[in-house]
Every structure is written in C-alpha cells, then in structure tokens.
Structure 1
Amino acid sequence: MSLLLHGLARLNRVLERLLHLLLLALLFGFILLIVYQVASRNLPLLPRLYWTEEFSRFAFQWMIMLGTAVGVLHADHFVLEAFPRGSRADLATRLIRDLACLAVGVIFIVYGRDFALSGLRRSATASGLSMVYVYSTFLISGAFILLFSVQRLLHTALHGMTAMEAALNTPDEVVEALEHAVHQGDPLATPSTQPGGRP
C-alpha cells in the first residue's frame, strides 16, 4: 500500500509539473490572443482574425478545468470550516470533501467521455476546429482529479488527515503567521487565536 502511494505520488508530481507548464502556455496564448483582438479592432492595418476569439475562449476553458484539477491536489478550492479545527466533525467534513472530489472526478470521466465524443460531429464556426478538442476538457480534467483525489485519500488512510494535509495542502498564510508568532513568544498570540486553540 505504501509502495502504491509512493508510485502514485511520483506520477502525480510529474503530471503536476506538466500541468503547470501547460497552464502557463495556455495563459500566455490567451493573453496574446486577447491583446491581438483589441489591437485589431483599433488598428485598421491589422487583419480581423475571427478564430482568435474562439481560441481565446477555448484556452480559457482548458485553463479552468486543468487548474481545477491542480486545485484538488492542494485543496485550493473554497472550503467552509464549520467546526473547530481538529475535532471529529472537522476531520469528517475534510474527509467528505476529498471523497466528493473523487466522485466529481468519476462523474467527469463517465459523462465527459460521451460529451467529448459528441464533439467529433461538430466544428467551431470560425476556425473549423473539431469540437472534440474543446469538449474533452471534462474527461481529461476528471482523470487528473481522480488521480489527485486517490493520492489524497490513500495518504490519509496510511498516515492520517493531518499528515496528508501537511504534505499536500497549500500552506495557510494566516495559520503559519499565528504559529510563528506563538513560537516567537508573541503575547498577542493568545490560546484563543492559536490554530485549534480554545477561548
């Protein structure tokens, strides 16, 4: 089981790096296409390329879906903390959150496959690009979400929720600042303001 987690973590590290590069390329392309659209509307010497509007929209859709997958790995999505940190109810809701992400990944794969295949029969109006390249965003994003969610859940099963979040979650700047203040002996960091502290 530990070997499986190690292999999955290594695979996901490589996939995450590739996603970061792809997201940077998409963002760069998106900005260039938008700048060209604005410039071509105001400078008569530039030809009006209608496919740039489509491609910028497609790049934006891919950025959202792939960025969502990376957000799942590091729990960067919106989280509502309704219970005291570290309580059983809090741990349960955090586990449910990761299980819900896993379920979303499965749904995206199951229904995203048919949605992607429907794009084979459609083409973009201006560019003529097959819409399968756009409609497959759900399927591919679902695959990444599934892999990242499985890593989080497997890590939790083997090492516990706290260890998993320490290893994978994006650090919370507020919590880190409070912990640093406590270690420095700051009198303003009272027990009621410390993470998991009680008034």
Structure 2
Amino acid sequence: MLGTLINRFCFGLRILLGLMMGLLAIPVAMQVISRYTGIIPTFLWTEELATFLFVWIVMIGSVIAVWDGTHFDVRITPDATTPAFRLLQNGIVHVSIMAFGALFLFYGIEYAEFGGKQRSVMMRANLIITHVSVPIAGGLWLLLAGYRFSEAVAQFLNRESLSS
C-alpha cells in the first residue's frame, strides 16, 4: 500500500523532472543564441533561471535515485551471498542515506531560512526558491531510504521464517 503510494509519487516526480528538463532548454537556448549569433539580445536573467531549474532537477533526481536504488554506493566487500550479509550491506547503504537525509533536513531548514533573506541579482527572486530544495530532498531521502530499509529487513525476516 505505502510502496504503491510512493511509486506513484515518484512517477509524478519523474514527470515533473521531464518538464523541468524541457523548460531548462529554453533559457539555455536563449543564452547560446544570444552569445553566438546576436539574433536576440542578451538576457542575464536566463542564467539565473537555468541555475534555479538545475538545482531543483538535481534534488528531484536524487530523490528518484534513492527510491530506485540507483544512487551510487561503494562496495568495499564482495557482493553478499548470504541473506544476513546482504541485509548488512544494504542496511549500511540505507542507513547512510538516512543519516545524510537527516543532516540535509536539519541543517537545510536553517539554510532555507538564510536563503529567504536574500534575493537573486537579476530576477530579484527570493532565494528560498532554491534553498528550500535542500531540506525537502533531505526529508524525502530519509523517508524513502527508511522505507527501503524496512523492506530489506522484512525480506530478511520472511526468508528466515521460511527457512525455519
């Protein structure tokens, strides 16, 4: 039930990510055309907009990567052959992501408040627009990695009960 809900949420994030990537092409194209052709005047706000979109694309992409398990992890031991060792290996990855998520959430709130007191140079937009992506992503990492960890524990316990 909860997994299905999270899958739908991440599907929505994928759609949003695709839209944002398409939207990012517009200010970047405007920058390239204005710099190399002179057909249109140089708009300085396009660089800020591209940066804002890029920050959100990275943070949304990282949330999807945590859910899909495609966020990189470094294995310093061979892949586990036993269920207990597999749980340990995957558990370390999930708990590490949860720890970083908690740090991003905790310190990201202060970071977002700091951004809320600033404005961008060209667009005069409140920088909380980008700064708030840090605690949001951290909170989602924490939740999604926690769910994946609970799935790994449940899978281990089910295997253990089946083998008994």
TM over 0.5, yes or no?
yes
How far apart are the structure 2 equivalents of 1:103 and 1:71? 16
Q: Is the 8 Å Cα contact of residues 73 and 148 (structure 1) preserved in structure 2? A: yes
Residue 14 of structure 2 aligns with an amino acid whose one-letter code is H
Identity level (%): 23
Pairwise CA distance, 1:42: 2.5
Q: How far is the alpha carbon of 1:89 from its aligned partner?
A: 4.2
2:90 matched residue in structure 1: 94
Task: Give the stretch that moved more between structures: 132-141 or 38-47.
Answer: 38-47
Residue in 2 that maps onto 1:190? none
Q: Which structure 2 residue ranges, 5 or more long, are not aligned? A: 160-164
In 2, the alpha carbon distance for the partners of 1:52 and 1:141 equals: 25
CA distance in 2, matches of 1:128, 1:22: 25
Q: Deviations over 1:139-185 (max 9, x none)?
A: 1111221221121012122223999xxxxxxxxxxxxxxxxxxxxxx
User: How far apart are residue 100 of structure 1 and its match?
Assistant: 0.7
Q: Which runs of 5+ in 1 are unaligned?
A: 1-5, 164-199
State the Cα deviation string for residues 21-59 of structure 1 (Å, max 9, x = none): 111111111122111100011333412111100111111
- SS of the equivalent of 2:34 reads helix
- 4+ runs of 1 displaced by more than 3 Å? 87-91
Bigger Rg over Cα? 1
1:59 aligns with 2:53: yes
Q: Using a 3 Å threshold, how does the CA distance of structure 1 residues 161 and 80 change in structure 2: closer, same or farther?
A: farther
1:71-112 Cα deviation digits (max 9, x unpaired): 111111223332243245454122110011111111111111
Amino acid at match of 1:121: K
Q: 2:23 maps to what in 1?
A: 29
Identify the match of residue 126 of structure 1 among 116, 122, 126.
Answer: 122
TM-score by length of structure 1 reads 0.72
Aligned length: 157
> Are the equivalent residues in 1 in contact too, given 2:87–2:153 (CA < 8 A)?
no
- For 1:84 and 1:70, the matched residues in 2 are separated by 24
Deviation at 1:135, TM superposition (A): 0.5
- Counterpart residue number, 2:162: none
Q: What is the CA RMSD across the aligned residues, in angstroms?
A: 2.0
Q: In the aligned structure 2, how far is the partner of 1:41 from the partner of 1:33?
A: 12
